[in-house]
Structure 1
Amino acid sequence: MKIPLDYLCVKSGLLCNRCQSLVDSGEVDSFEVKVMQALLELEETQFKELKDSTYYKAIKVNDLLILLVGSGPSMTIQKWIKVAKALQDKLHMKVRIVEKTNNIKNSAIQLLSPARVLGVNTVWLPDGSVQYVIRVSKSERKLLPADSNILESALSKIHDTRVKIRVE
């Protein structure tokens, strides 16, 4: 798996100057080193298909860990689900894997699954900024993988913009 840090640094847990500066600058969070270690272990032992995939970022919101990844040609949604389950066992927290995309609707569909996204509205605020409102059916509220506030925070971090989830 392609990762932003050196393989040797991640496997050993001792970071070289370049990797340490990435962590110190905040480009890579310190908990992400453990996540990358777990992913590399899974690649070696169970999931050889991870070799062609790319790790971009891990976002931790409360007890939910969201991984932004790019899929290799041999990775399917079912394999990513198995990887997420294996990571949950290793890291002892809920894990969701989201394909990195600039489209908020696609990210929301992946993150909120199995709940269906009815649509995404763009709200232009008076200060000139944009807020996205993701609409979910009231009957599917119980299917959300986490509290809507946690999911809003995660989507906001992924896309670096304000996101609201409205249950209607």
Structure 2
Amino acid sequence: MLPICDICAKTGVLCGACETKLDKGELTPLDVELSGILYNLGSGEIGFEKAIDTGDNVIIITQKEAVGKVIGKGGKNLKTLSKKLGKKVQVIGTGKLAELIDDFMAPTRIIGVNTVYKPDGSTIQKVRISKMEKDKLNIEVGTMQNLIHSLTGDNVEIMFE
């Protein structure tokens, strides 16, 4: 399922309902553009939930089962998306927090994720990564922490050991 209706994705012209979503900020121009591209690539069979532009990359959030469809056979769809958007594209499936963090960090290997309980009752997810893996991160640490928080509502702290 796409963030906009199939007719809007197919024609490239937003209907009143989709235009309202865009005006309210429920959709971004990137969501609209990506919906059109994916609709054409998959004849309406490929969907996603949200697209996030981090500056250098575009992150596509989709259901775990749909990741393969978005990527395409041999990465064909991913290459097309990257070319049309002019940025590196990363596809992440929604699921458990640990899986989401693991997908965000790829290809960086995570040592562990620990839940820290603070005196005020709040929690922080501490993601431990080897210092030697720091250069493999595709996205700046602060940006990644903010993205994970905005998607899950969990406070995340990335640390290197």
Residue 8 of structure 1 is matched in structure 2 by 7
Q: 1:105 aligns with which of 89, 98, 103?
A: 98
**1:124 offset after TM fit, Å?**
2.6
* Structure 2 CA distance for partners of 1:157 and 1:60, relative to 1, 3 Å: farther
> TM-score scaled to structure 2, two decimals?
0.84
Unpaired runs of at least 5, structure 2: none
Unpaired runs of at least 5, structure 1: 45-49
> TM-score scaled to structure 1, two decimals?
0.81
* Structure 2 CA distance for partners of 1:167 and 1:110, relative to 1, 3 Å: same
Percent identical among aligned pairs is: 29
8 A contact 1:67–1:95 mirrored in 2? yes
Summarize the alignment of residues 101-140 of structure 1 with structure 2, pairs less than 5 Å apart: 101=95, 103-140=96-133
**1:5 offset after TM fit, Å?**
1.3
Summarize the alignment of residues 1-168 of structure 1 with structure 2, pairs less than 5 Å apart: 2-44=1-43, 51=45, 53-70=46-63, 71-72=65-66, 75=69, 79=73, 81-101=75-95, 103-168=96-161
Measure, in 2, the Cα distance between the counterparts of 1:78 and 1:117: 26
Q: How many residues align?
A: 160
Residue 47 of structure 1 is matched in structure 2 by none
Measure, in 1, the Cα distance between the counterparts of 2:99 and 2:131: 20
8 A contact 1:62–1:150 mirrored in 2? no
